[in-house]
Structure 1
Amino acid sequence: MDDRGYANPEALVSVEELSAILGSPELAVIDITKYLPNEDKDGFAEYRRAHIPGARYLDIDAVADRSTPLPHMLPPPAEFAAAMESLGISNATRVVFYDQKGMSSAARGWWMMRAFGHDRAAVLDGGLPAWIAAGHPTEAGEPPPAAASAYAPAFRPWLVKDIRAVLGNVAEPHAVLVDARPAARFRGEAPEPRPGMRGGRVPGSTNLPHLTLLQANATFRPAAELRALLKEAGVDGSRPAIASCGSGVTACAIAFAAHLVGLPDIAVYDGSWTEWGGRDDTPVVTG
């Protein structure tokens, strides 16, 4: 446990810590930025303009399950392994994920690695804004091809939930379902960023907007504050928990926060509201 009270501090890397190890052959730094459909920005284009030196880009819409129209669903293990090898990542690599907004999609990378059995994954605290604010350099363009590597995934199915599991939990609640969307979207009072979605929430779910886990500079709050926020949302380790959001990205920040403070693993409903709110046969609560 470190001075911030984190039970698993190695999962959260400061910009100073990353700067000290940048360039290490056993390290991979990955920009995993994903902008919402209504943000009118392209993560890869922004990456090419400025990124942490040596970082590579992982497009979660490309490294995804192609058998479903749902966005960036977790890919099959073989496809994930191929993507890791294309990035020069092996099972021994320490991987640090960051995003351009501070902390929006970085935890998705951490969760994807965890789901495929890779525990040497971390998130850059504060992301690219914190890196730049600390005076560290960036570079433009794309890096040279990655060195050859071999990656063998070990899938952990308990970290991923589908719509059947969530429907079952509505019928017979046993797990806490925590929604990471902003409160107004959770209540059905603000439109979803994707067209065609109903507003509202899954019956019985609680709300923990992912931004409340962060300080003003997009770094994670100290452990005591995270534990209090998680407990208020019903996540205290006494019951299983499932995190949800708009499309399975910011939900991973809840799973990450729980890991940071030493709570049991939280599963992620990968289809999240894009799947649930995009159908007309799922129950919805508003208000």
Structure 2
Amino acid sequence: MPGEAESKYLVSTDWLAEHLGAPGLAIVDASWHLPTANRSGGAEFLERHIPGAVYFDIDAIADNSNNLPHMLPDPVAFSSAVRKLGIGDGMKIVVYDSVGLFSAARVWWMFRAFGVRDVAVLDGGLPKWLAEGRPVAEGEARPQSRHFTARLDHALVASLDDVRAASAKAGVAGAPQLVDARSAPRFRGDELEPRPGLRSGHIPGARNLPWSDLIVEGRLLPPEKLAALFAGAGFDPSKPTITTCGSGVSACIVALAMATTGRSAVPVYDGSWAEWGLRSDLPMAKGPA
């Protein structure tokens, strides 16, 4: 049932407040901002965060040998970083961000991609927590290292080859649907990309579902409204789907939204347009889907 799926992947501020300090609970501040925002998630964490939280930097916990932004690291590197954050095997992980719902979905997906199943996003994030007058802490977190085992779940990660094949077979029965979470002007190619060197347009055969349409006041829409948006974007969430965006962040919001409606195994194209748009040898489309 949609309600059961929703409760599995989202937790309320009431629930988190009741469980602060509980053994086996890891609270993760995943705040990250686009370069154009001139904000630092790490600096803001030091100023205020939910008590007991640790800061997860998606630019640091990444494959830094890759020239693409915040690509998934390998399991060994991910395990090492997460252990230092005090997150261990068997813990329940709750992820939030300072916008309400943006980069938290990316870190939710990263944990799931490395085998964690008991991970959820805080509904409304830090803005809702603050609006309700709940406690905050400041300064650096000092977690105790724990043992964490990471095993990459390839079913949740789409490669360039996967996306190229899906694009070539767009519209063919059984082929994965491509859903692009960027804004409509970026999808159509009407706006320049925020990262230099990228073409403007979209992957041929993709559908457009802007991530911002899925959220109101920092909270994910209820499942029935999400289902209506999926239908309006022209894709069937019950069928194989790959989500994509600018650099693999907002695509995870679509994956989270689909999970709350009962479709949990949705792969994300990690390289997204940062990879595809950089490659002149790959086809590109402009205009509406």
TM-score (norm 2): 0.94
2:179 partner letter: V
CA contact (8 A) 1:244 1:251 kept: yes
**Aligned-pair CA distance for 1:184:** 1.0
In 1, Cα distance between the equivalents of 2:80 and 2:224?
39
SS in structure 2 at match of 1:148: coil
1:171 partner letter: A
CA contact (8 A) 1:177 1:242 kept: yes
SS in structure 2 at match of 1:38: helix
In 1, Cα distance between the equivalents of 2:10 and 2:115?
18
The aligned residue for residue 18 of structure 2 is: 20
In 2, Cα distance between the equivalents of 1:26 and 1:239?
35
User: Percent identity at matched positions?
Assistant: 47
**Aligned-pair CA distance for 1:267:** 0.6
In 2, Cα distance between the equivalents of 1:74 and 1:143?
24
In 2, Cα distance between the equivalents of 1:59 and 1:124?
17
Write the deviation string for residues 184-230 of structure 1: whole angstroms up to 9, x where unpaired.
11111122221221111111101111111112x11111110111212
SS in structure 2 at match of 1:7: helix
Matched ranges for 1:74-89 at <5 A: 74-89=72-87
The aligned residue for residue 31 of structure 1 is: 29
Write the deviation string for residues 54-77 of structure 1: whole angstroms up to 9, x where unpaired.
111011111111231101101100
Matched ranges for 1:213-232 at <5 A: 213-215=214-216, 217-232=217-232
**Aligned-pair CA distance for 1:6:** 4.8
Match of 2:51 among 50, 53, 56: 53
1:204 partner letter: G
SS in structure 1 at match of 2:38: coil
CA RMSD of aligned residues (A): 1.4
1:200 partner letter: G
Deviates further, 7-16 or 36-45: 7-16
**Aligned-pair CA distance for 1:152:** 1.1
SS in structure 2 at match of 1:122: strand
Where does the alignment leave 5 or more consecutive residues of structure 2 unmatched?
A: none
CA contact (8 A) 2:237 2:258 kept: no
**Aligned-pair CA distance for 1:286:** 1.3
**Aligned-pair CA distance for 1:181:** 0.7
Instruction: Say how many residue pairs are matched.
Output: 283
Determine whether 1:272 maps to 2:272: yes
1:172 partner letter: K
SS in structure 2 at match of 1:204: coil
Where does the alignment leave 5 or more consecutive residues of structure 1 unmatched?
A: none
In 2, Cα distance between the equivalents of 1:85 and 1:242?
30
TM-score (norm 1): 0.94
In 1, Cα distance between the equivalents of 2:145 and 2:273?
38
The aligned residue for residue 147 of structure 2 is: 150
CA contact (8 A) 2:51 2:137 kept: yes
SS in structure 2 at match of 1:100: coil
**Aligned-pair CA distance for 1:239:** 2.4
